[in-house]
Structure 1
Amino acid sequence: MRLFAIRDYRYLFSAQIIALFGTGLTTVALGLLAYDLAGPRAGMVLGTALTIKMVMYVVIAPLAAAYVDRFPRRTLLVVLDMVRAAVVLALPLITEVWHIYALIGLLQAASAAFTPTFQAVIPDIVTDESDYTRALSASQVAYTMESLLSPVLAAVALAFMSFNWLFLGTSAGFLVSGLLVLSTRIPNARPSAHTKAWDKAAGGITTFLRTPRLRGIMALNLVVAAAGSIVVVNTVNYVRDELNGSQSDVAWMLAASGSGTLLAALVLPRVLDRITARTIMISGAGVLVGGTIAAVALITTGLSTWTGTAIVWTVIGIGMALVITPTGKVLRASVEPRAIPEVFAAQFSLSHLAWLITYPIAGWLGTNAGFALTWSLLSALAGMGAVGTLLLWPRHDGRRAMTESATPVRPTARADRSTLSKAA
């Protein structure tokens, strides 16, 4: 495959996969750690920890994009990987709930700076438009493979060891990721179109607010967060308390959602050549709304079963892939090359702003008011986001060339008008 013939991309993609699998193990272990420390109130603890994560992402990601062109990007990525490795290594040693909050804050501050920087590197390494599209798909497959296989690996590991050992796997993953990044040739960031840090931080968000298709993506972020919070936050207590499952069962149920995401992500690259991104992403929103309604039906009818829950979780995973996979392509086609880091950082912050709304609902309300009310509210939010997408993203926008964004696209030899018109 021509894409993987690019040495630096191959190394960066390997670093991404290794770090993602480590992160996946931490996701499972963190939920079980919360249950170990807080029992029935684990959902509240996990919801609070994830809310802290979202605050870090929303605040730090745009600042990182604003200042990233002032530092060597390779050095910055390696340092952030080392910080994450050290923090995760300390998680098994904690004994109080507040320790979770402190370490998660530090860990996610590093991740919030790492992720948009990493995303913005790829277009500088993979310059061909078709190869970049494949890189986006490969990145999504990596994320979905992590969501599928990390819980499976965790389930197998938990049969032989304590969940605390999963944190060790995460730390090792970050270390290896840092070494792979260190071995690549990463060009430093292009000078931003803005000279002031605040203008840089606000530039991407301003582009979102001025561009119809990007406003639609903002609404889609709410749909993804509302449905995803049910799976991410509530699976631990739902499986342990409602279904009377084990630690391994929690991991297997998370893997069910990941399998749906993987299935959709493997099919989408071919579909995107024939169907507009708008159509696919709005269809994904419909799937997610349907999945949340089905989750509410499971809990309100008193017919919660392993099979029914696995099916609903799988449907939610499919919907998330349908929305998330085309997003990077739409973002890149909406701005000129110099604005790519800013708009990616803006999407990173705005998408996590949606999670900042839904994580506390899933965690705090789920613990105090029960799953029925909580999932009904999250389902309503998903529906609102889906309707908002239809209103904010004009139908014709999916068929016309992407030349009407707030920041004009300047066609190049590799990204002419006909290529950009296919992006959405």
Structure 2
Amino acid sequence: MVSALAEPTYRRLLGSQAISLAGTGLTTVALGLLAYDLAGGGAALVLGTVFAIKMLAYVAVAPVAAALLHAVAPRTVLVAADLVRVVLVLGLPVVSSVWQVYVLVLLLQAASAVHTPAYQAVLPRVLPDQRRYTQALSLSRLTDDLEMLLSPLLAAALLVVLPASDLFVGTAVGFAASALLVSRLRLDGPAPTDDDTRTAFAARARRGVAHMVRTPALRAVLALNLAVAAAGAYALVQYVVIARDVHGRGDGAAALLLAALGAGSIAVAVVLPRLLASLPERVLVLGGCGALVVATAAIAPALRVPGTPGLVLVGALLALVGAGWAAAETPVGRIITRSTPDADRPAVFAAQFALSHACWLVTYPVAGALGGWGPGTAALVLAAVSAVATAATATLWPTPEPAVDVAG
């Protein structure tokens, strides 16, 4: 993954993403503490609502923002989104009621729904070489996983010397640093065509979704999103229940299970560029989906193994879930880039961002509701959903597989 880092523009983009994600991780921890301060025993309900608002903002805002900002330079979009997030996150420490949290989180996540697809769409233009772009996708996956693993540790260290409200200040500093890095880059977007200027806003808002529905490779991605979300939602919703209720352990055991999930994903992200150089995307994606299904289903019998061996077995299976997740999801950027004209890529990345999060919006509450029947039952049901979606992905995948052309 070193050759991608040789491109100065990409190095700064990756640095801005990593700093921004670190700030986002601090916000996640700080929101939990703020929810407890405002709602006490109702903090879980507040956080659940916050995460639902986050998913709704992602689903609703990304395609609309892509249509509104289709002619705006990518650098302007990225910097403006970061600066808006700075202002909003600085408002969180001074809120005095739960509804104010909901409003600020909605606006904050709307800004993120603008920033992330714009970042994804600009990468293939910065790295037109297929090999370097594939490395960039793996590095993006690594930064996502490291944010999940390291941000709680960073937050814990900061809380030793700072009040919880100062974590939001740290987040604001991260977003500001991200904006500063990007503001010094030259990021050219595709020039608007005559068709762009004549196309109505509503049509532009639908363009990305319509392109995904009518393109065979991207129809497979639609099914893939559900396969990943079903297994991923189980892991992220039930890991605490498994550690605390099933095994009677504390928060440390829960953190280790989450770390196992992230470690599996990181391990695959590191080797994925080499694998994609020698194996078809279909093999890796469907292999990753298969790992998701098998590992999630296997958790059900593993829960009956008592004591430390059972906990270790579940941790190993969650690591396999993480590995399958990375293998299935990371190549999606290549598939979109290959299947989409340059001018349409921002709209399609925004559509993928929204539609993939729509799957999570469904599977998160389902994973929580099924928990009432026990984590074993939830594992089997969500593994079955993932299996059906995997079968749909395999059926919809075009054959023969098109050649990759990142430059477009």
Return the TM-score normalized by structure 1.
0.83
Give runs of aligned pairs for residues 7-18 of structure 1, distance below 5 A.
Answer: 7-18=8-19
Contact 1:12/1:181 (<8 A) preserved: yes
Aligned-pair identity (%): 42
How far is the alpha carbon of 1:293 from its aligned partner? 1.3
Q: 1:215 aligns with which of 219, 237, 246?
A: 219
Contact 2:247/2:306 (<8 A) preserved: no
Contact 1:89/1:171 (<8 A) preserved: yes
Residues 173 and 274 of structure 1, relative CA distance in 2, 3 Å threshold: same
Aligned to 1:130: 131
CA distance in 2, matches of 1:238, 1:37: 28
Aligned to 1:419: none
Aligned to 1:64: 65
Aligned to 2:334: 329
Residues 109 and 290 of structure 1, relative CA distance in 2, 3 Å threshold: same
Contact 1:152/1:252 (<8 A) preserved: no
Residues 314 and 397 of structure 1, relative CA distance in 2, 3 Å threshold: same
How far is the alpha carbon of 1:45 from its aligned partner? 4.3
CA distance in 1, matches of 2:290, 2:60: 30
Contact 2:21/2:144 (<8 A) preserved: yes
How far is the alpha carbon of 1:225 from its aligned partner? 0.9
Q: 1:312 aligns with which of 317, 324, 330?
A: 317
Aligned-residue Cα RMSD (Å) equals: 3.1
2:297 is aligned with 1:293 = yes
Residues 377 and 26 of structure 1, relative CA distance in 2, 3 Å threshold: farther
Which moved further from structure 2: 340-349 or 293-302?
293-302
Q: Secondary structure at the match of 1:397?
A: coil
Contact 1:45/1:363 (<8 A) preserved: no
How far is the alpha carbon of 1:247 from its aligned partner? 5.0
Equivalent position amino acid for 2:27 in 1: T
Structure 1 unmatched ranges of 5 or more: 403-410, 416-424
Equivalent position amino acid for 1:205 in 2: V
CA distance in 1, matches of 2:107, 2:95: 14
CA distance in 2, matches of 1:36, 1:375: 33
How far is the alpha carbon of 1:372 from its aligned partner? 4.0
Equivalent position amino acid for 2:138 in 1: S
2:285 is aligned with 1:284 = no
How far is the alpha carbon of 1:223 from its aligned partner? 1.4
Q: Secondary structure at the match of 2:278?
A: coil
Q: 1:397 aligns with which of 389, 400, 405?
A: 400
Residues 231 and 170 of structure 1, relative CA distance in 2, 3 Å threshold: farther
2:343 is aligned with 1:338 = yes
Aligned to 1:143: 144
Q: 2:275 aligns with which of 256, 271, 274?
A: 271
Equivalent position amino acid for 2:114 in 1: A
Residues 39 and 217 of structure 1, relative CA distance in 2, 3 Å threshold: farther
How far is the alpha carbon of 1:362 from its aligned partner? 2.7
- Tell me the alpha carbon deviations over residues 282-335 of structure 1, each in whole angstroms, 9 at most, x when there is no partner: 111111112221333344667685423322321211111001111111111112
CA distance in 2, matches of 1:38, 1:298: 36
Return the TM-score normalized by structure 2.
0.86
2:357 is aligned with 1:352 = yes
CA distance in 1, matches of 2:235, 2:118: 28
How far is the alpha carbon of 1:377 from its aligned partner? 3.0
Give runs of aligned pairs for residues 53-132 of structure 1, distance below 5 A.
Answer: 53-94=54-95, 97-132=98-133
Give runs of aligned pairs for residues 161-176 of structure 1, distance below 5 A.
Answer: 165-176=166-177
Equivalent position amino acid for 2:285 in 1: M
Contact 1:56/1:105 (<8 A) preserved: yes
Q: Secondary structure at the match of 2:128?
A: coil
Equivalent position amino acid for 2:334 in 1: K
Residues 179 and 345 of structure 1, relative CA distance in 2, 3 Å threshold: same
CA distance in 1, matches of 2:277, 2:192: 33
Equivalent position amino acid for 2:400 in 1: D
Aligned to 1:421: none
Which moved further from structure 2: 349-358 or 128-137?
128-137
Q: Secondary structure at the match of 2:69?
A: helix
CA distance in 1, matches of 2:149, 2:233: 17
Residues 291 and 91 of structure 1, relative CA distance in 2, 3 Å threshold: farther
Aligned to 1:182: 183
- Tell me the alpha carbon deviations over residues 341-389 of structure 1, each in whole angstroms, 9 at most, x when there is no partner: 12211211111111111122234554x5553444443222212211211
How far is the alpha carbon of 1:140 from its aligned partner? 2.2
Equivalent position amino acid for 1:384 in 2: V
Contact 1:151/1:251 (<8 A) preserved: no
Contact 1:148/1:257 (<8 A) preserved: no
How far is the alpha carbon of 1:165 from its aligned partner? 4.8
Contact 2:269/2:326 (<8 A) preserved: yes
How far is the alpha carbon of 1:191 from its aligned partner? 1.4
Residues 111 and 221 of structure 1, relative CA distance in 2, 3 Å threshold: same
How far is the alpha carbon of 1:60 from its aligned partner? 0.9
Structure 2 unmatched ranges of 5 or more: none
Aligned to 1:224: 228
Contact 1:47/1:363 (<8 A) preserved: no
